[in-house]
């Protein structure tokens, strides 16, 4: 989702191959031994981290100025990808972590969400009045967390954060990147993305 958001914003045309992770095509595994998505295969290298795909796309073209943000934006992204993502995974996949207390993990995630909520109490977006990389790099993870139990999430009195999330979920931008494609198989043609 993060990679698609940045590719869309940067207006880069890429060949999109939807990967079904339980049936990974051989060329996909040949491109990246990690076997995780996203993978961006360029003529000279492979990028297989979503944040790195975002930065690649935006350094090609950044018409919305997502990269124009203070260093503290990258710090927020790092916290999201580190402690928050770990707590999110422990909450979302609690059955895989029977030795961890799900409520404690949810509370660890809430620490970060309260920081975001406080920032959004004063501004429309995390870095001010315009969308920046921090927003688009963090929103998909907040969406995942909210979706683990939306009723519980909505009861947490995170008004500004919930408004920020719901505005994103209701946007044309979100709808366009969530288009479903048939899973790619060896020998199939690609889908061009972004679609107009």
The model's pTM is: 0.90
Band (pLDDT 50/70/90 cuts) for residue 189 is: low
| pLDDT attached to residue 67 | 98
Integer-rounded Cα Rg, in Å, for the chain is 17
**Cα separation of 173 and 171, whole Å?**
5
* Angle, helices 133-148/159-169, rounded to nearest 10 degrees: 100
**Cα separation of 54 and 66, whole Å?**
10
Whole-number percent of the chain with pLDDT over 90: 72
Point out the least confidently predicted range of 2-16, 72-86, 173-187: 173-187
Three-class SS state of 49: coil
- In the chain the domains, ranked by start, together with CATH numbers, are 2-64+181-193 (3.40.30), 71-174 (1.20.1050.10)
* Residue range 2-35, pLDDT digits in tens: 999 999 999 999 888 888 888 888 888 888 888 8
User: Other CB atoms closer than 10 Å to residue 49's CB: what's the count?
Assistant: 16
Point out the least confidently predicted range of 3-7, 82-86, 159-163, 185-189: 185-189
| pLDDT attached to residue 107 | 95
| pLDDT attached to residue 191 | 58
**Cα separation of 165 and 127, whole Å?**
15
| pLDDT attached to residue 25 | 81
With 80 as the cut, is the pLDDT of residue 196 above it?
no
10 Å CB burial of residue 1 (0-12, 13-18, 19+) is middle
Instruction: Confirm if 114 and 140 have CB atoms less than 8 A apart.
Output: no
Q: What is the Cα 77 distance to its own chain's centre? A: 10
**Cα separation of 134 and 81, whole Å?**
11
In a 13 Å sphere around the CA of 59, the CA atoms on its Cβ side amount to 6
| Nearest CA among 50, 55, 22, 46 for reference residue 37 | 50
């Amino acid at each position: 989702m993060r990679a698609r958001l940045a590719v869309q914003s940067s207006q880069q045309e890429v060949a999109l191959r939807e990967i079904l992770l339980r049936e990974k095509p051989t060329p996909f595994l040949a491109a990246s031994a990690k076997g995780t998505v996203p993978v961006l295969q360029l003529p000279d290298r492979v990028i297989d981290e979503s944040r790195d795909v975002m930065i690649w796309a935006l350094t090609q073209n950044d018409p919305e100025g997502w990269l124009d943000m203070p260093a503290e934006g990258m710090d927020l992204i790092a916290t999201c990808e580190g402690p928050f993502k770990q707590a999110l995974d422990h909450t979302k996949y609690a059955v895989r972590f029977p030795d961890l207390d799900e409520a404690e993990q949810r509370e660890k995630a809430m620490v970060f969400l309260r920081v975001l909520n406080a920032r959004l109490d004063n501004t429309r977006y995390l870095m001010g009045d315009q969308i920046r990389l921090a927003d688009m790099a963090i929103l998909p993870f907040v969406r995942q967390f909210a979706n683990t139990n939306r009723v519980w999430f909505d009861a947490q009195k995170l008004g500004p954060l919930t408004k920020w999330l719901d505005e994103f979920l209701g946007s044309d931008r979100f709808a366009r990147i969530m288009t479903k494609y048939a899973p790619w198989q060896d020998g199939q043609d690609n889908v061009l993305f972004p679609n107009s």
